[in-house]
Amino acid sequence: MNESKLIAKIKRDRRVESISDERDYRGSQLNDPAVKEYIERTGDNGDGFWIYLKPGWVDNTGTGAHMVHESSIEQAFKYLQWVDKCKCSECQHINSK
């Protein structure tokens, strides 16, 4: 599945609040020829994808984070399998309203 279709599929997930593509985030370092060469050589051009979960959902791998971060959209999509209902006090308070 291509990148734009995966992003659209993630956005439609009922557990997802939003997704941020931060691959090009390097600030002024993008003007550094060594950084440009590294990006061209490795394909690693930033901080990857951040998926912010709706209240009541959590990364269930032990981090307890209410977000998912992965280098590629494919990894982020696969990681959603470990998102589950959250039982932290903040989420329980939101869910009880």
**Of residues 23 and 18, which shows the higher confidence score?**
18
State the Cα–Cα distance between residues 19 and 47, nearest whole angstrom.
13
Helical residues (DSSP H) of 1-97, grouped into ranges: 3-12, 33-42, 73-79, 89-95
Task: Record the tokens describing residue 63, joined without a space.
Answer: 């981090």
As a whole number, mean pLDDT of residues 16-25 equals: 80
At 59-68, the pLDDT tens digits run: 888 788 899 9
32-81 pLDDT per residue, tens: 677 667 767 776 666 778 899 999 999 888 788 899 988 888 999 999 99
Distance CA 84, CA 91 (A): 12
Shortest CA distance to 67 belongs to which of 2, 22, 5? 22
% the chain with pLDDT above 70: 79
Q: Single out the residue of 30, 26, 84, 75 nearest to residue 49, CA to CA.
A: 75
Q: What is the mean pLDDT of the chain?
A: 81
Q: Is the pTM of this model over 0.75?
A: no
User: What does the pLDDT read at residue 27?
Assistant: 52
